[in-house]
Structure 1
């Protein structure tokens, strides 16, 4: 059973995520998040004493969510060889469709915050390690990861994004490369 403190912390992080998606990072304040969560600012400060702590908590929350999906997709895959690389593709697509803009904001913020940058890097290193040991050529697995990163940033930064049909073809080809 989760403690009241954990439930409140999760509520704050969920509210902060929703707030940033509805507005943007520039509008994020402790007051705004507290109001959005329906709690007092003091209640928020108990869990996150400043905006930097909230950013770090938000980053950890988003990374944990991504890694949970990544591992769930891998567990559901009945074909062992390449399952983590396919899971990375699936988790990336879900992330891109649901809250990619939020992740881009966190990555941008990490350029100014070494603690945040290290947290993000360490978490995603776990996924990289798993795809390198995935039963397919580690170079192929890494090319697939980098291609997904490129698709992600192309769409989010609107840098020559590709149409839906070509996107599906690219993803299908990447999945085929895992087999």
Structure 2
């Protein structure tokens, strides 16, 4: 007789496990290699259990992007709390999180999500919505031309990093980070 019915149910933990497994599969095999069967098997749940949380591969990718954005939001909020200077605070936090050591753990996931993010209109729309929300939330402190320029430059640096098109040693990365911080102060 199966013991599955005796297992303590924790839907939020199962959902998070599925997202972790999906992220790992995307890193290992790319988003094209992410399948519902592979995610369910790697998480040790039935395909029906996975489908309860994520009815399609697109929903799983949406969930993964939303989870990554939520993690980034939390790191940005923490960096903003530590910055006493209001002007450019969000922009500096965005720079700090992107260049920070804690970003390295998320780096492989963001790299794996790049192609789906570029290729899928619905994923792009989610990212665009996040960008628009940040612009709205921080219009009073981060709408200067210099802050916008910093965020565009940072996004370009991030894309170059993902594509591995412009190798950068740690000292150069630190100089760029400091220069972006300086620009964000206007």
Q: Which TM-score bucket, shorter chain as reference?
A: 0.7 to 0.9
Determine which structure has more spread, i.e. the larger CA radius of gyration. 2
Q: State TM-score, norm by structure 1.
A: 0.85
Distance 2:87 2:67 in 1: 29
1:124 is matched with 131
Change (3 A) 1:112 1:159: closer
Q: Is the 8 A contact 1:84 1:130 kept in 2?
A: no
Q: Is the 8 A contact 2:26 2:113 kept in 1?
A: no
2:6 is matched with none
Q: State TM-score, norm by structure 2.
A: 0.82
- Select 1:115's aligned residue among 98, 122, 134: 122
Distance 1:67 1:160 in 2: 27
Change (3 A) 1:112 1:21: closer
1:168 is matched with 174
Q: What root-mean-square deviation, in Å, do the aligned CA atoms of Structure 1 and Structure 2 show?
A: 2.2
List aligned pairs for 1:1-179, cutoff 5 A: 4-94=10-100, 97-134=104-141, 138-179=144-185
Q: Is the 8 A contact 2:31 2:116 kept in 1?
A: no
Aligned length in residues: 176
Distance 1:131 1:89 in 2: 15
Q: Is the 8 A contact 1:128 1:142 kept in 2?
A: no
User: How many Å apart are 1:96 and its aligned residue?
Assistant: 5.1
Q: Deviations over 1:61-103 (max 9, x none)?
A: 1122112211221122233332211101012224752233432
Q: Deviations over 1:143-171 (max 9, x none)?
A: 11111111111121122223222211111
Change (3 A) 1:161 1:133: farther
Q: Is the 8 A contact 1:86 1:175 kept in 2?
A: yes
3-state SS in 2 of match to 1:79: coil
